[in-house]
């Protein structure tokens, strides 16, 4: 007799920058969630659906948990903790640098009482000496009764088979909840905004204010092969607007061009992208703006 089919919702939680979105994209095999070197890259809950012969795993990428009093950040933490609450299994991800008091505190906040947790220790490619993993694994095992502790490199594709096997073993039996060919719950329109945000993060690095967001103002296929996208990049101050636009519009041009190419690849269509930068003072503390930008669900 073959094993019963498994189905589970698996939340990816942890501090910002641990590599949660990199892991999601690695598992799904395509870019579902944007990635950058900056912490707090992911701002929404994003599903990545992995359908295997005997199991369907619904991974929930969440914003990295962090402390901040801004309304935007509180909404991000709520999205992250909400993702954890509804899960059958939680992957808590740290990197090989290990636990800091802050990460431990986030873990205590996020660790659900009755839900199994797998600890993923990411970025093992950064370790010159693998021996150093052992003390970290021991320390972690003493902290919590993890369902498994698995060192991985999401970026370099290391130990991913063992990781997936552990995940499959830890989710309940059940029939698939999504069609086999569905990979995410997010629309192309959402992804278009994210790709512009990703290129802004990449292009501007630490110069880019945390208070920037992307709104898609129009999204229209004129035919099967041609897509017109209009976006507004919102910032909180006039000085930030000049940073995003750059001298002679150079920065915005590069951001737009790279995001456009990414969209063409993702959507398989030619894309015309029209990007504007606008200022809305204090938008990250403005409930109406957060709602409009999709950061607050109700």
Ligand X SMILES: Nc1nc2c(ncn2[C@@H]2O[C@H](COP(=O)(O)OP(=O)(O)OP(=O)(O)O)[C@@H](O)[C@H]2O)c(=O)[nH]1
Kindly list the residues in this chain that would bind Mg ion in the complex (CB under 5 A): 20-21, 41-42
* CB closer to Mg ion, 42 vs 199: 42
What residue 122 binds from Mg ion, ligand X, none (CB within 5 to 8 A, per partner kind)?
ligand X
Q: For the chain, how far is it from start to end, CA to CA, in angstroms?
A: 46
* CB closer to ligand X, 40 vs 188: 40
The minimum distance between CB 125 and ligand X, in angstroms, equals 5
155 binds ligand X (CB under 6 A): yes
* CB closer to ligand X, 18 vs 28: 18
Choose, by CB under 6 A, the member of 9, 13, 35, 252 that binds ligand X. 35
Q: Which residues contact 118 (CB under 8 A, 6 or more apart)?
A: 89, 90, 91, 92, 146, 147, 148, 149, 150, 166, 167, 170
77 binds ligand X (CB under 6 A): no
Binding mask 156-175 for ligand X (x = CB under 6 A): x-------------------
Q: Helix-strand-coil percent breakdown of the chain, rounded to 5?
A: 40, 25, 35
What does the buried/exposed string (b/e) look like for 99-121 if buried means 16 or more CB atoms within 10 Å of the residue's CB?
A: eeeebeebbeebbbeebbbbbbb
* CB closer to ligand X, 126 vs 132: 126
The minimum distance between CB 49 and ligand X, in angstroms, equals 18
Number of residues forming the site for ligand X (CB under 6 A) = 24
* Region near ligand X per CB under 6 A, out of 29-37, 45-53, 101-109, 217-225: 29-37
What residue 199 binds from ligand X, Mg ion, none (CB within 5 to 8 A, per partner kind)?
none
The minimum distance between CB 34 and Mg ion, in angstroms, equals 7
Alpha carbons 7 and 30: distance in angstroms, whole number: 21
Binding mask 53-72 for ligand X (x = CB under 6 A): ----------xx--------
Q: Is 139 exposed, middle or buried (0-12, 13-18, 19+ CB in 10 A)?
A: exposed
The minimum distance between CB 93 and ligand X, in angstroms, equals 7
The minimum distance between CB 109 and ligand X, in angstroms, equals 15
* Region near ligand X per CB under 6 A, out of 119-127, 199-207, 244-252, 285-293: 119-127
Other Cβ atoms less than 10 A from the Cβ of 138: the count is 11
Binding mask 125-154 for ligand X (x = CB under 6 A): xx--------------------------xx
> Residue 289 to residues 74, 215, 253: CA-CA distances in angstroms?
14, 10, 25
What is the DSSP secondary structure assignment for residue 275, as one 8-state letter?
Answer: E
36 binds ligand X (CB under 6 A): yes
Edge-to-edge strand list for the sheet holding 46-51: 46-51, 55-61, 6-13, 89-95, 117-122, 148-151
The alpha carbons of the chain give a radius of gyration, in whole angstroms, of 20
- Judge contact between 106 and 79, C-beta under 8 A: no
> Residue 287 to residues 72, 73, 190: CA-CA distances in angstroms?
9, 12, 20
The minimum distance between CB 191 and ligand X, in angstroms, equals 15
Residues of this chain that interact with ligand X (CB under 6 A) are: 16-22, 35-37, 39-42, 63-64, 122-123, 125-126, 153-156
């Amino acid at each position: 007799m073959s094993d019963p089919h498994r189905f589970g919702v698996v939340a990816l939680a942890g501090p910002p920058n641990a590599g949660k979105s990199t892991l999601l994209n690695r598992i799904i095999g395509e870019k579902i969630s944007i990635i950058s070197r900056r912490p707090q890259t992911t701002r929404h809950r994003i599903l990545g659906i992995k359908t295997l012969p005997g199991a369907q795993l619904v991974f929930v990428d969440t914003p990295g948990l962090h402390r901040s009093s801004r309304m935007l950040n509180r909404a991000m933490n709520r999205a992250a903790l909400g993702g954890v609450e509804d899960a059958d299994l939680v992957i808590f991800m740290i990197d090989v640098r290990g636990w800091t008091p802050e990460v431990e505190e986030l873990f205590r906040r996020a660790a659900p009482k009755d839900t199994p947790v797998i600890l993923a220790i990411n970025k093992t490619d950064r370790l010159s000496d693998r021996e150093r993993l052992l003390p970290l694994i021991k320390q972690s095992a003493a902290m919590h009764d993890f369902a498994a502790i698995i060192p991985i490199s999401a970026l370099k594709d290391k130990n991913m088979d063992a990781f997936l096997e552990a995940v499959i073993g830890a989710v309940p039996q059940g029939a698939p909840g999504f069609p086999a060919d569905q990979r995410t719950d997010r629309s192309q329109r959402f992804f278009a905004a994210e790709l512009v945000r990703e290129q802004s993060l990449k292009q501007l690095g630490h110069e880019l204010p945390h208070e920037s967001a992307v709104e898609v103002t129009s999204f229209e296929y004129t035919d099967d092969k041609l897509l017109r996208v209009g976006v507004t990049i919102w910032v909180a101050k006039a000085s930030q607007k000049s940073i995003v636009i750059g001298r002679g519009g150079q920065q915005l041009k590069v951001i737009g061009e790279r995001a456009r190419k990414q969209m063409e690849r993702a959507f398989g269509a030619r894309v015309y992208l029209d990007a504007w930068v606008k200022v809305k003072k204090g938008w990250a503390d403005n409930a109406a703006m957060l709602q409009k930008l999709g950061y607050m669900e109700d």
